[in-house]
Every structure is written in C-alpha cells, then in structure tokens.
Chains A and B, each alone.
Chain A
Amino acid sequence: MATLQASELTLAYDKVTIVDELSLDIPTGEVSIVVGANGCGKSTLLRALSRLLKPAGGKVLLDGSDIHSKPAKEVAKTLGLLPQSPNAPDGITVRELISRGRYPHQGLFKRFSAEDEAAVNRAMELTGTTILAERSVDELSGGQRQRVWIAMALAQETDLLLLDEPTTFLDVAHQLEVLDVVSELNRTRGITVVIVLHDLNLAARYADYLVALKDGKIYAAGHPNEVVTEKTVKAVFGMPSRVIPDPVAGTPLVLPIGRHRVLRTEAVLAERGIFRGEAPVNEPQALSEGLDQESAVIEAEVAAIEKAVEEADQNTPRPAREHLQTLAFSTTVLRSQQLSPSFRRLTLGGKDLEDFGTNSHPLDMRIKLLLPPAGGFGVSKEIASLRPDALTSPADQLGWYQRWLAIDTDKRGYMRTYTVRAFREAGHRDNLGDTPELDIDFVLHGEVVDGKLQGGPATEFGDQAKEGDSLLLLGPNKALSDASYGGIEFRPGAASRIVLAGDETAAPAICAILESLPANVTGHALIEVPETTDILGTTTRSGISVQWLTRGSAEHGSLLQDAVRRTVAIPAAGVVQTNAEPEDVDVDANILWETGQAQSAPFYAWIAGEAGTVKEIRRYLVREAGVDRKQVAFMGYWRRGKTEN
C-alpha cells in the first residue's frame, strides 16, 4: 500500500502563506477527513498532497519520496484525486467519462485495452453506476453524478484516493450516499482515503482519522472521539456548541448553539416567569470555574482550621467538632414517607445536625447510618466520642473504626452507606421544625414474610421506622469539610454529556445528582426499579433525559444493560477505538469500586448498583464502546445473594 506524508509543508499563493510548516502522516488503509473553517487551507493542503500545488517549503512524500520528483503520470497511477468542481463536458456519457480515468495507464500508442475495460466495469460496479453507463452525465442527479466522478477516480485504480468536498451542493441523502460509497470502498478494497469535508458531524461519523485545521496548522488530529470536543469546535470554527454522542453512530455529534434560537427560548421562558440556571449556556467551563473559585475560598478556610488543629496538642481533649472531620449525629425520625413499594423516605432531624454539612450540595454527602441490632441499641463509646460535643483528643480517635468493628454485631449494630437526598437548615422554607433535617431514601429490597418485610438490616429498619425512632449517623463535620468530602464519587470533570445508570439502590444517588446538575449538561439517566410504582419524581434543570426502567419479571440488571447499550451505542464500524479487556474483578470476593479520575473529556458515565450488573456494563463500556476508564465511575453497591457484614 502506498503511503502519503506531508513533511513541514508550507503552501502559499502569491506569497500569502496558506499552510504553515504542517506535518501529517496519512494513516494507510484508513479514511482520513480534514475539517476546518472556510479559508483554513484544507483544500490547498489537498491540492499539495495530490501534486497539483508545488509547496513553498517542505515536501509531500509519496511512498517515502518527494511527490514532485516523480512524473505526473506515475503519481496518477498511485494517487487519484476528485477535485471540488470537476467539469463534465456536454453530452458525455457515463461510461465515456469513467473511461477517461484510465488515461495514466494508457500510452500514446497503447489504446483502450481489455484491462482498461475491466477496470471501468469494476469501478462502475463498486459505485453502483453500471446501469447509468450509457446515460448522459448531464441528465443525472447530483448524487449520481458525484458517484460517476468517484467511479472515474476509481477507474484510475490507485491505492490512494483524495476527495475535495465531494458532498458540496448535495442534499443530505446524497451526501450520505457519496460518503457511504467512499467508506465502502475503503472497507472492501483497503483504499486509503483522504477527504476534505466541511460537515463536522459527517466527518466525525465517517473518519477513522480526523484532522482539524486552523489557520493552516493542525489544531487537533486523531480519532474523532478525541478531536471533536466543544473546545476544538470553538477554536476551529469559532462557534459555541455542544458535543454529544451521535445516537445513530456513537460518534461525537456537534450541536451548534446559534445565538438567536437560544435567546428566543430564554425570552419565551422569561415571559412565563421561568428562569433557568445562571450557567451560561455557551460556556460549559464557566460554571465549574465559578465553583472552583468559591471552593477555593472555603478550602483556604478549612486549611487554616486544619493547620490550627495540627498545631494543637494531640492529646488534649477538646470538643470533637473542633478536630474531627467525621462526626456522629444523633437524630430522630421526623417523618416516614412511602415513595413507592421499593422506596421509603425518612426525614431525620436533631440538634446535632447543626454541625452537619460540607458547605456544598448534599450530593457530596455520603453518610453512614448506624442501624440498631435486632435486640436493641447500645451506643458504643467509640461512636459516642464522635458526637459534636464529646470531649476527645485526636490521639483517642486513632483506630476507632477497627475497635468498633471488633464489637459483636448484636451489640454494635450495622453500618450502611446512604446518600443524603436533601438537607434543610432550620429556617429553610420547607423545614417546619426548629432543628436541621435531612432526607434519606431507603431502598427496600427483600421478601415479605408473615406480613413483615425481611431483608437486610437497612431494609428492615426503613420498613419499620416510625416517627420518634432515633438513628445515629456518621457524616461530615460542617466546620472541617468541603466538597471533597467522600461523596458519591460523582466527578464529571469538564464533561458536558453524562450517562447515569443504576438500579434501585443507586436511584437516590442518581436523583440527587440530577438535582445538582447545571443546565449545560446533557445526557441520559437510566434507572432500573422493580415496578412502575417505584418511579420517583425527579427534577433536574440539566438537559438529561431520565428513563425509568421497570424490571417486572425480567432478570435484575438486564434492562439496564440493554439501555446502556442503546444509549452509548457501539460506534459505527471502523470508528471503534477499543481498549483492552478490563481486568477481571471477582465481584463475589471483592468490591468493584472504580471511581473515574479528574479528566477533561466531554463524556462521563456514573454506574452504580448490583455488582454483577455493574461489572457487565463496565465490560461493555470499556471494551466494546471504547470508553476510556477514566471517564467512568463503576461502583458495586451490593452483590446479589450476599449480605454485607
């Protein structure tokens, strides 16, 4: 196969530099697409690559040697070009036109041979133009005509095919028709294809290798998934946009944000008294930057306190709230509300909660509930010393968890992790009491035996809790915690498209995440619950579409897996960037808990719930859909047929 490279290529027309010291390796056997704004030099680059333009500096290397050192006719046997607006002579027939592609293979005296005839027939077959053969090119539709031109370039029988905006002036169906023909040729005959295209979405869909040009330089190059980001679109086309996975092909899909339409929508909403979040729609970065600044102030405060604490004597007993990040809060059940057969919301309140919080959204508050054992509750001294007012020294606290774990479960009870659905300070308009209160959604999964629900300790507690029952919980100390307090591991980074997926155990967390998301985020939330009645009301100001899946008699997790597959479709053939198989995690022996890392990719997925299901989804996303593991958090909350200690 022929190779094509540009090496420090400088291209100029009349001393005006169009392309500046550009180096590019065209991947052999793949479809490379060059995109860029008008006048960025993409067509000029293509002309230089096809020997039509002599570079002002640098070289184009065809099979390793300077393309201008070879005779034109030799080059034409390896490299074919379809220029932007080729000219069909009046009255020429399709076959005649395609036959002209054989010129480089004919000598002055060697006339049209059987070999030429065969090449022309092949080219017509591949492009589906055989039945047009004897028709006049003038009478053809735009798409047919473009296929005929491609056939002409194919009849040249080259390893490399360069096309300059082959879809210009075609309607969308014909654009696809042309690109399909080209990518089919690439797949079936292994021809290396280079296309200059200005439709970014089609480019992302059809390219194996995407090159974004800006002002005659390569701004970004690589797999479309890497290249097509909101940042690149903004930089290359100067246009704010959203980038979401194409629901058809799984490749990035650019949705331009036109000022007019957005303004009108906002105006209409404002007229009805609806104001959406302040998050500027066109600047996805702005929001997180704003948060960063805010939390920077908080961080500075926290650091000051921490420093003071460190400097203090490690053995002097002081109130726990002054030096412990995690406190034990004594609460009582204020309300119990059956949300659905599988969900029960308990509202807990108490004076202790005045010290509760992370100074940020409750989303980041993952808390531990201390569930009483069957025979009643004896608060251990380990837990008691965590109360806000308890006098304790940092030295006392070392190893409290191990000591607590060592106590018999019948005495200490159980610790379970829960998500705070809402936290209301005293005086909040929805808080009628005089102490702070918080909501926790209990997931009830178990079996009803003799009219009583039997399941894990949390299920049973949630089912039976009455107003006035007390409950201890461990949570963040408001004075010493910030947003970095162990939350529910939701770290989308700069992602603007998010997929949330989980079963009923993850539903409260997902609902909490949804409530916290800003308006400029889009994506899907997929929640599998046991029955239709378990579908909870969710609110989000983001562009996430929420899909509740009711399991019914289906196997646990099967609906969720299917939905994830649909939502994050396998990219179209050829654009898959598969990672290696993720290393196996034995979900029966270990906890599957991979949290994504801080990253700047536009896509982020958060998957939680039953470990076996999460593992399957993890395998699909990483291996089949080619999603980077850094972009996904995988959390096995529980394992079917196995209870926690």
Chain B
Amino acid sequence: MSVKTMEPNTTEARAAEPKTVSCEAPAASAQAGKNAAARRAGRTRGTAIAMLLALLAFSAAYIFWGRDRLPAGEILQVLSGQQVPGTSFIIMDDRLPRLAVGALAGAGLGISGALFQRWLGNPLASPDVIGVGYGSSAAAVLAMLVLGYTDWRANVFSLAGGLLVAAVIYWLSASGKRTGSRLILAGLAIGAMLQALIQYLLSRAEINAAADAFRWLTGSIASSTWEQASILGLGLGVLSAFVLPLVLRQLKLLELGDDTAAALGLNVSRARVLLVFLAVAMGALPIAVTGPLAFIAFLAGPITAALTRGGINILLAGLTGATLVVVANFFAANLFADISLPVGVITGAFGAPFLIWVLVRANSTGNGG
C-alpha cells in the first residue's frame, strides 16, 4: 500500500529558491561590496603612487647620492640647464640617459611579461621564461657579432628574433589551444637551444667583441646614450599609443577563453596574433638596447597583482617594471664600494628566489606549468 505521493512541485517554488539562497542580508552585503570595490580601486591607486614615488626616490638617490657623490648644488645647476664642467657630463651623458633607458626598458619588459601572463593566465608564461627573450638575445648577438650592427638595426634583429621564436613556440604548442603549460614547456626547450646558439656565437667571436656581447647579455644599462633612449622611447611610445589600447581591449575577452571571446564577437586568431606581436615587440625593443634584464618581465606583473590583491594591471606592471630597473640600477651602482655591477646581475639575483616562490605557490594552487 503506498501512501500519498508527493505534492507536485511547482516551478514557482523552485524558482524562488536561488533568490533566497543569495539573499542573506542583502543590504549589508551590497554595502560590503561597495566598500570592497572602493578598497580595490584604492589599492590600485596606492600601488601606482608608491611605485612612482619609489621610481623618483631611487632616481634621485642615484643622481645625488651613492658612489662618486657630486655636490648637490652643482647637480641642481646642471638640471636647471647650466653647464658645469665634469658634472654636466656625468649627469647629462651618463646618469640621466642610464635612468631613461632603464626606466623605458623596464616598462617595456613589464608590459610584455604582463600581457603574456594575463593572456595565458599563468605567471610562468613570461617571455623570459618561455624563450621569447632568448630569441631576441640570440638574434641581437648574431647582429652584433656576425654582422657588426650596434645601432637601430640591432633592434630590428632583436624584434625579428623574438617574433620568430614566438611563432615557433606557438606552433609547437598546438597553435589554437590556450595551453599555457605546453607553451611554457616548448618555450623552455627552445630557450635551451638558443642559449647553446648564443654560446656558440660567443665562442667564435673576437675576444673584444665577445666581451662586449657578454656584458650586453648580462643585461646592462651602463653604456646608455640619449640616442638609445630615444629609439626605445619612440618605439615603445608608438606601440603604446596605437597598438596597446586595442590589445588591452581584446585581452579582456581573450583571457575569458577562446570560445567565450569568439562568442562575444572577437576574431580570436587575429587578436591573438596581434597580442603576441605587441608583447614580443615590447620585450624585444628593450632587449636589443640593454640586453636581457633578467626577470623584469617575469616579476612586474605578479608584483602588481600581489600589491593590489587583484588581477594583473598591464599599465601598472609597466610602471613596476620601470621602478624595478631603476631600483636595481641604484643597487648595482652602490652595493659594493669598489665595483659597479651590471644591472642584470642584480635583477637576476633577486628575481630567481621570486621565481621559486611563484613555482611553489603555483604548485599548491594548481595552476603551474
């Protein structure tokens, strides 16, 4: 004998459910939401201001303070446009171009890395990890040692090398798919090959040229000139003004996954190619001038994410990259009393532990390579 069957449930009864589920104290929750949003915006602003202040402080410290200290009065005179023999040269032809190139290179690398990281949703996917940086380096070394180019043509080679390697890695990692881990593995393999190529080129070069190239490979802004600064500024400026806004807009869709992006009306393959081009170019241009400044591209994005406790903000990552190079430059110049280190040594020394930290953290959250 069966008892009464269940009352037929109504759609209204079921439909009401989700509302009640999410209705715990709506007012308070909405208020909390507003506050959270305000806090988040505040954190982004705060981080930007802090970065800017650090950039200015370390720039000033580098100019005014540290080894080979110059009289502050003379420096101010130079900065206000007067000629002071000796001091003028040191400031105008050494320290200031060095800061300009460093900041620009850092910004370019920071943006480059952050674009890759956000697109692939993986902090390990920065150009210096996935081998694009090695492509630029190898091409630049080739241009310098074999062809003897040291001007803008080295930049073009560096850019071409980066793009070529990016294309190869992209193809190796099954093109269309958004496969961060395969891309990273393919990049590591290509990177190792390119390092071998660089070693080979160095071993074949004249000793003087090889020494120059070697110092360049460590990443140095010591020989910066205004010419280099202007090439870099112009290149990065044009990219930032004309390509970056479009890519940022498309990145907002690309990072939702290819299908979602396509469903929202984005031409995914075109957008992807444009993004890779921009990211490689933003990284390759600085590399041709300063050499591969280790870990700047890799560090800038995750640092901004950690400070803002949100996602990676591309422009903020650029600012962070600039600050990192300027700070590293200060320490490179002043850490040891008797010797001035290439800035790449400092970024490498401090970047490596951060890479390990990211790896460990990525493993525990499951989005590693």
Contact = CB atoms under 8 A, between A and B. Distances in A.
Interface of A: 47, 50-52, 71-77, 79-93, 95, 97, 100-101, 103-104, 108, 128-136, 143-144, 147, 153, 156, 176-177, 180-181, 183-184, 247-250, 524, 545-548, 566-567, 569-570, 572-574
Nearest to B118: A89
B21 interface: yes
B246 A108 contact: yes
Contacts of B311: 89-92
Contact of A104 (B19, B264, B310): B264
Interface in B19-60: 19, 21-23, 26, 29-30, 32-34, 36-37, 40
Contact of B9 (A83, A103, A104, A249): A249
Interface stretch (B199-207, B255-263, B279-287, B290-298): B255-263
Given A52-B259, A83-B257, A132-B33, 7 more contacts: A52-B263, A73-B265, A75-B265, A82-B260, A89-B255, A89-B311, A104-B265
B37 to A, nearest CB: 4
A116 B310 CA distance: 24
B162 interface: no
A93 B39 CA distance: 13
Contacts of B264: 76, 100-101, 103-104, 156
Main secondary structure of the interface of A (DSSP, over half): mixed
B177 interface: no
B252 interface: yes
B356 interface: no
B255 A177 contact: no
Nearest to B312: A90
A85 B257 contact: yes
Contact of B19 (A128, A547, A574): A128
B8 A569 contact: yes
Contacts of A74: 265
A200 to B, nearest CB: 19
Given A132-B22, A177-B21, A547-B2, A72 B15 contact: no
Contacts of A82: 260, 263
Contacts of A103: 252-253, 264-266
A76 B263 contact: yes
B11 A548 contact: no
B18 A177 contact: yes
B100 to A, nearest CB: 32
A72 B266 contact: yes
A175 B255 CA distance: 26
A249 B259 contact: no
B203 to A, nearest CB: 43
A518 B368 CA distance: 58
Interface residues on B, range: 35 or more
9 contacts: A73-B265, A87-B178, A90-B312, A95-B37, A128-B22, A129-B22, A131-B33, A180-B14, A545-B2
A524 B15 CA distance: 29
Given A91-B309, A569-B8, A86 B121 contact: no
Nearest to B367: A90
Nearest to B245: A108
Contacts of A524: 2, 5
A47 B253 CA distance: 18
A101 B9 CA distance: 34
Contacts of A132: 22, 33
B77 interface: no
Contacts of A88: 256
A249 B11 CA distance: 9
B256 A100 contact: yes
Contacts of A83: 257, 259-260, 263
Nearest to A571: B8
B241 interface: no
Contacts of B9: 248-249
Given A88-B256, A103-B253, A144-B22, A248 B6 contact: yes
A87 B255 contact: yes
A136 B310 CA distance: 9
A176 B34 CA distance: 30
Residue in B14, B265, B305, B310 with the greatest tally of chain A CB atoms within 10 Å = B265
B40 A93 contact: yes
Contact of A131 (B5, B29, B259): B29
A566 B263 contact: no
Rank and list the top 7 A-B pairs by shortest CB-CB distance, nearest first: A76-B265, A134-B33, A81-B263, A83-B259, A73-B265, A91-B310, A545-B2
A547 B148 CA distance: 98
A74 B17 CA distance: 36
A48 B34 CA distance: 40
A77 B263 CA distance: 10
Contacts of B308: 91
A524 B11 CA distance: 24
B265 A87 contact: no
A89 B22 contact: no
A89 B121 contact: yes
Contacts of A76: 263-265
Contacts of A51: 262-263
A184 B11 CA distance: 9
A74 B265 CA distance: 7
B337 interface: no
A50 B260 CA distance: 11
Given A180-B14, A546-B1, A573-B11, A131 B26 contact: yes
A176 B13 CA distance: 12
B223 interface: no
B33 A180 contact: no
Nearest to A572: B11
A12 to B, nearest CB: 16
Contacts of B260: 81-83, 86-87
Contacts of A73: 265
A47 B265 CA distance: 14
Contact of A250 (B8, B19, B34, B255): B8
A583 B304 CA distance: 75
A52 B15 contact: no
Contact of A90 (B17, B36, B305): B305
Contacts of B256: 86-89, 97, 100
Nearest to A135: B33
B262 A72 contact: yes
B69 interface: no
Interface string B106-148: 0000000000001001000000000000000000000000000
Residue in B4, B249, B260, B311 with the greatest tally of chain A CB atoms within 10 Å = B260
B179 interface: no
Contacts of A133: 30, 33
B34 A134 contact: yes
Contact of B121 (A79, A87, A250, A570): A87
Given A108-B246, A248-B8, A100 B36 contact: no
A570 B7 CA distance: 11
Interface in B71-100: none
B150 interface: no
Residue in B2, B178, B249 with the greatest tally of chain A CB atoms within 10 Å = B2
Nearest to A164: B259
A199 to B, nearest CB: 16
B363 interface: no
A287 to B, nearest CB: 24
A267 to B, nearest CB: 26
Nearest to A92: B311
Contacts of B175: none
Nearest to B20: A128
A129 B21 CA distance: 11
B344 to A, nearest CB: 29
Nearest to B264: A103
A72 B30 contact: no
A247 B5 contact: yes
Nearest to A134: B33
A435 to B, nearest CB: 36
A100 B15 contact: no
Contacts of B5: 247, 524, 566-567
A587 B256 CA distance: 66
